[in-house]
Amino acid sequence: MNDLNFSFDFFHLWQVIGGQLILIVAGLILILADIAMLKLDEDVRSRRLGWLTVIIFALTAAHMMSREWGLHNIVFMGIFSADKFSIFVSIVMVLSGLLAALMSIGYLQNNDVMKGEYYILMIYAVAGAIGLVQSVDLLMMFITLEVMSLAIYALAAFLKNNRFSQEGALKYFLLGSFGSAFFLFGVAVIYGVTGTINLTKIAQSIAGGLYTNPAILLAFAMLSVGLFFKMAMVPFHMWTPDVYEGSPSVITGFMATAVKAAAFGVFVKLLFVTFTPMLSQSGQPDFQNTINLAALGAYWKPVLWWLALLTMFFGNLIAVSQQNVKRMLAYSSIAHAGYMAVGIIAANGDGRMGVLFYLFSYTLMNLGAFGVIYLIDGKERNAQTLEDYRGLGYKYPALGFLMGLFLVAMAGLPPTAGFIAKFYVFAAAIKEGYFLLAALGVMTSVIGAYYYLRVIYMMYMKDEVRDVVRGPVAMPTVIALVITAIGVIYLGILPEQLANIANAAQQSLSMIF
Amino acid sequence: MAGINEYVILSCVLFGLGTIGFLTRRNALILFMSVELMLNSINLMLVAFSAARADMGGQVMVLFIFAVAAAEVAVGLAILICLFKHVHSVDINKFNVLKW
């Protein structure tokens, strides 16, 4: 805290947090653009803002990808780091924002809520999420966590006249701020024990002998609890079904992917930069020989083992009994958090790579599914039952095919991205000897296949074809659905390229020093 | 003169009270207050650590936390008011349209 370097270099700043800067400035410009277009019709204004948002997200992604990929290990004022890992997770979140913005253009028209704030909140949510995974400072982590969460709370409550949306948002807000308080408690205890809130300095203190200190263990438990709320791990998942069901459908898809990616990214960073520093092939930090990494792992692995198992079982079992498709996908998103946690428990390079790959492919398939779901939203209740899907595949062959594809991907069947992602995390767990966990995980995903395939079965029931699709499918939504569908199939057939990038990303974690 | 231990114990007790309040009370406004109590107990702890370590960092963090807490309440109360228009109550047991 005392040794902040206040020399200010704009180029350096741009290199490290250029993505956030683009989003923050663009958010301000969009507020003005919204006012400048006041004379136009509401729907024209909303559509233009939507396209502007898409362009902004595309520019952000371009900035992140254009940065020299070999560049790592640059830290801005001890607060933000631009390592490959953070950039990878950031790109996942920007992609999620981009696809969600594309779908929102049609969604807002359908639901007659054409307000400019929507896109601005979305931009700030992504900016906060990027800050969260880039930060290497616990205070900045808390602040960006709140920036992201506050924007998402407001988005969840966006349907003002819909009681479900408001109720979900309030529940999300209450439990979200409760979780953040735990996170902050962990920050305070770590500050008290080590005297610093910088991740790498904490790592050095822990390696210097503090790792048996119960206060440090308590602090890490508290930090993890705060993040588990965002990751929707059992038993911190209580808000998930209600919030996912009540929120506007596109926002549900957005928060299921972007927030989960941010929380998982920062959790992996905390674990493998600070608490269990990973061994690197090159440039080993000098303290790594002084601690027994296995001893550190013994503290958190058994706990996470049980949490992952409970999460997978609970999510999949309750999802089976759901009649509401949005609620079913909420429970399925809990289950997916469990699968990703399996990759973290493996605690090897493959596991971390698997988690990153999983986040990327989950973003594609989940947002794709919600892109179809929003088209079927009921007027009264911002959600729909399984019955509403009856005959969808006959009435709208393309929509039926896409929904089927996304559901098959989430069930983890080949040849889709979902299969490869599950394969990576379970293979990593088996490599480390977690046979039982992997076997039980695969078993739960078989349960999962049942309720995903039930929707597909419903879509191809011939007897009673319902026409529930509201209005013509907007062009941007078609674009977003095509992108996600191509991505899901491409990653299922040729995963090598992304897997290599993800592997390079996870290796960079050992270089944030 | 109380030492660092007394301050830390006090803030842990306050944090615990906030947690218990959050988990047991049924009034949404009291839940807000409980979360505020938790955040402020953390502020107390940070100031105590800051003083004990003669490091300004902890006190700077407190200012940031004040700002974040204020923003949080602004958003939370806005959502509560929107919901109140539908439910006409702040009792969280009445917020029950979403359940399995």
B-chain residues near A245 (CB < 8 A): 98
For A12-61, what is each residue's pLDDT tens digit? 778 788 889 999 999 999 999 999 998 888 889 999 999 999 999 999 99
Q: If you ran DSSP here, which 8-state letter would residue A282 be given?
A: S
Q: Per residue in A279-300, is it b (16+ CB within 10 Å) or e — as a string? A: eeeeeebeeeeebeeeebbebb
By the 8 A CB rule, do A437 and A342 touch? yes
Average pLDDT score over residue span A480-503: 93
Greater pLDDT, A510 or A83: A83
At residue A280 the predicted structure's pLDDT band, cuts being 50, 70 and 90, is very low
Residue B17, H or E segment: helix B4-24
Greater pLDDT, A373 or A69: A373
> Looking at the complex, does the CB of residue A303 fall below 8 Å from at least one CB of chain B?
no
B-chain residues near A142 (CB < 8 A): 64-65, 68
The letter for the amino acid at A127 is A
By the 8 A CB rule, do A449 and A413 touch? yes
> Looking at the complex, does the CB of residue A168 fall below 8 Å from at least one CB of chain B?
yes
Minimum mean pLDDT range among A71-80, A189-198, A439-448, B62-71: A71-80
> Looking at the complex, does the CB of residue B75 fall below 8 Å from at least one CB of chain A?
yes
For A82-97, what is each residue's pLDDT tens digit? 888 999 999 999 999 9
CB atoms within 10 A of CB A315: 28
Query: Which tokens sit at A204?
Result: 């050095």
CB atoms within 10 A of CB B28: 25
A169, closest residue in chain B (CA to CA) = B79
Per-residue pLDDT at A349? 85
For A395-406, what is each residue's pLDDT tens digit? 888 889 999 999
Return the percentage of chain B with pLDDT > 70, whole number: 98
How is domain B4-92 classified at the architecture level of CATH? Orthogonal Bundle (1.10)
Interchain CB distance below 8 Å, A160 and B46? no
- The domain ranges of chain B are 4-92
Interchain CB distance below 8 Å, B82 and A166? yes
Query: Which tokens sit at A74?
Result: 């640059």
Residue A81, H or E segment: strand A80-81
Query: Which tokens sit at A320?
Result: 């089976």
Q: Which residue has the tokens 């992304």?
A: A498
Per-residue pLDDT at A2? 43
Q: Which long-range contacts (CB under 8 A, 24 or more apart) does B16-24 make?
A: B18/A181, B22/A174, B22/A178
For B4-52, what is each residue's pLDDT tens digit? 889 999 999 999 999 999 999 999 999 999 999 999 999 999 999 999 9
CB atoms within 10 A of CB A463: 6
Residues 6+ apart with CB under 8 A from A454: A386
Per-residue pLDDT at B2? 72
Interchain CB distance below 8 Å, A146 and B86? no
Q: Is the pLDDT of residue A284 over 90?
A: no
Burial of B74 (0-12, 13-18, 19+ CB in 10 A): exposed
> Looking at the complex, does the CB of residue B7 fall below 8 Å from at least one CB of chain A?
no
Distances (CA, A) of A422 to A47, A316, A332, A335, A465: 37, 15, 14, 12, 34
Question: How many angstroms separate the CA of residue B2 from the nearest CA in chain A?
Answer: 17
Size of interface A-B (CB pairs under 8 A): 120
Give the Cα separation of A216 and A498 in Å (integer): 36
pTM of the model: 0.93
Q: Is the pLDDT of residue A127 over 50?
A: yes
Q: Per residue in A163-186, is it b (16+ CB within 10 Å) or e — as a string? A: bbbbbbbbbbbbbbbbbbbbbbbb
At residue B79 the predicted structure's pLDDT band, cuts being 50, 70 and 90, is very high
CB atoms within 10 A of CB B100: 12
Interchain CB distance below 8 Å, B100 and A181? no
A-chain residues near B72 (CB < 8 A): 146, 150, 177, 180
Interchain CB distance below 8 Å, A168 and B22? no
Average pLDDT score over residue span A352-365: 95
CB atoms within 10 A of CB A142: 25
Per-residue pLDDT at A449? 92
For A302-347, what is each residue's pLDDT tens digit? 899 999 999 999 999 999 988 888 899 999 999 999 999 999 998 8
pLDDT, mean over chain A: 87
Interchain CB distance below 8 Å, A160 and B97? no
Per-residue pLDDT at A1? 40
> Looking at the complex, does the CB of residue B44 fall below 8 Å from at least one CB of chain A?
no
Per-residue pLDDT at A281? 43
Return the percentage of chain A with pLDDT > 90, whole number: 57
Interchain CB distance below 8 Å, A185 and B28? no
User: B27 - beta bridge partners?
Assistant: B91
Q: Is the pLDDT of residue A379 over 60?
A: no
Interchain CB distance below 8 Å, A143 and B28? no
